[in-house]
Structure 1
Amino acid sequence: MRTIYLDMCCFNRPYDDQTQTRIRLETQAKLELQDHVKAGSCHLLWSAALDYECSRNPYPDNQLAITQWRWLAKKIIEAGPEVVALAKPMLENGIKSYDALHVASAIAGGADFFVTTDDRLLKNLRRQGMHNAYLPTDALAILENWYEN
């Protein structure tokens, strides 16, 4: 069974201004990915980095809605020595600290998909050779085998 890790910008996508087509499409794809988690067709990873970032959300309703996904996660990745060691080279290559912790948590948890809406992060990860980092739409396309015909 495939495992996905959604970073905090991905979890927050439904709360962004939905007037832009891209944001609406990414929101819908993220919600579809979560439907796959609820249906049991893929597993969700959660992390201490998500806990911390979510706790700093200034909107209590959004914070509560996002935190509910923690309870559906098959595995929660703590920010231990392994995660810190995985994050360090990313920091040295220009990835921001929280982003590096999210990516390191996904790697430590064995995620098949690291899903983000952050173009800059995605570009940096691909430049560093991480080929399982995706926008929500691309992750959904792969998970649902859209292009297998």
Structure 2
Amino acid sequence: MTRLDKRTAAASAALLAVIAAGATGATAGKDGSNSGPLRCEIRDAIEGDAILLEPLVYADKTISGTYTVSVSGDGPSGSANIRQGGTFEASPGNPASLGRMSVGANGAAYDVKLKVIAGSTSVSCAKQVSGPT
């Protein structure tokens, strides 16, 4: 192998390592991270004049970590700005519920963001929810 071939091989290996590291800390799509060893979801349901929110963590193996969830936006009684966090433990077949929140629904629009960290892995979920007008 020539010196140029060795440099190309080393650069390719470094690029693959960066790509793999990026996949480990991937940001989820609109509703959540649905692949990988650590996944998240933000469930929402309208019940009466409230939007019920429940952030969830799924794992392929027993894992513990920390999370932060925030809800911001405009509701029927003014603006909302909720932020909470804590620790969790999830295992295969036993997702961790990270609490439940209720916000006003009528004419409301909220941005919900969830960030989960377990060891060197992190995932994020974001969802926009709105109530009837």
TM over 0.5: no
1 or 2, which has the higher strand percentage?
2
User: Between Structure 1 and Structure 2, whose CA radius of gyration is higher?
Assistant: 2
Which structure has more relative contact order (CA 8 Å, sep 6+)? It is 1
TM-score after normalising by structure 2: 0.22
1 or 2, which has the higher helix percentage?
1
TM-score after normalising by structure 1: 0.21
